[in-house]
């Protein structure tokens, strides 16, 4: 159950994320940047990592009984990010070619999102936790599954978000940041649920 400290941390995380998204939208409107090359890469990395970091910090703080080592949590994030870039995204984009058929109609979109995109993403998150931390002595309670799977899921979300921002050419960064924040929250929620049952 959540106590008042949990609620405060949740509110702080949401407010922090809203402030960050608002700042990005405000800066984009005020400066109207034309980002290319290294500037686009750095901006993409920052915009992809900050929402994931905010949610990871929030979920990490929920594990108060026996907090996990920060290095293990960071490792799950990095492995989730790497596996998303090396396996997950290539599978969905190049093998299943979801962009070519996913948005044809509502039924195709729902089935493709659940069984193809969701299946690949959930398997990568599961595999990250199962094969890289599950047998560790540190993995000894349900909250550990939530923390580690959330970290892996946020790594996956960061890879998706970085791909999205870089492929969009940096146009409309404010709108992209809203999308990035949603992807990070959704992946954190799905990863946390998967980790709970793992």
Predicted confidence at residue 38, as pLDDT, reads 78
pLDDT at 170: 59
> Who has greater pLDDT, 165 or 129?
129
Pick the range with the lowest mean pLDDT from 30-34, 55-59, 108-112, 174-178.
174-178
Got the DSSP string for 86-133? IIIHHIIIIIS-HHHHTTSSHHHHHHIIIIIIHHHHHHHHHHHHHHHT
Percentage of the chain modeled with pLDDT above 70? 94
- Length of the chain measured in residues: 198
Q: For the segment 52-98, what is each residue's pLDDT rounded down to a tens digit?
A: 998 888 888 877 778 899 999 999 999 999 999 999 999 999 999 99
> What is Dmax (Cα atoms) for the chain?
51
Residue 131 pLDDT more than 50? yes
Whole-number pLDDT of residue 116: 95
What's the mean pLDDT in 165-171? 70
Check: CB of residue 198 under 8 Å from CB of residue 130. yes
DSSP notation for 120-189 = HHHHHHHHHHHHHTTTSTT--SHHHHHHHHHHHHHHHHHHHHHHHHHHTTTTTHHHHHHHHHHHHHHHHH
The residues, ordered by sequence, that sit 6+ positions from 189 with a Cβ below 8 Å of its Cβ are: none
In angstroms, the CA 191 to CA 185 distance is 10
């Amino acid at each position: 159950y959540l106590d008042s400290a949990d609620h405060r941390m949740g509110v702080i995380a949401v407010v922090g994320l809203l402030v960050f998204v608002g700042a990005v939208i405000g800066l984009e409107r005020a400066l109207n940047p034309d980002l290319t090359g290294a500037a686009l890469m750095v901006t993409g990395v920052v915009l992809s990592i900050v929402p994931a970091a905010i949610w990871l910090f929030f979920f990490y703080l929920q594990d108060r009984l026996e907090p996990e080592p920060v290095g293990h949590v960071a490792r799950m994030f990095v492995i989730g990010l790497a596996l998303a870039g090396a396996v997950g995204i290539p599978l969905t984009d190049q093998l299943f070619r979801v962009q070519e058929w996913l948005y044809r109609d509502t039924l195709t979109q729902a089935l493709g999102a659940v069984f193809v995109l969701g299946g690949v993403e959930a398997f990568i998150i599961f595999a990250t936790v199962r094969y890289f931390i599950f047998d560790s002595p540190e993995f000894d309670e349900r909250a550990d599954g939530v923390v580690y799977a959330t970290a892996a899921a946020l790594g996956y979300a960061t890879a998706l978000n970085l791909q999205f921002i870089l492929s969009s050419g940096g146009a409309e960064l404010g709108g992209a940041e809203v999308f990035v924040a949603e992807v990070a929250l959704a992946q954190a929620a799905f990863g946390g649920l998967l980790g709970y049952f793992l």
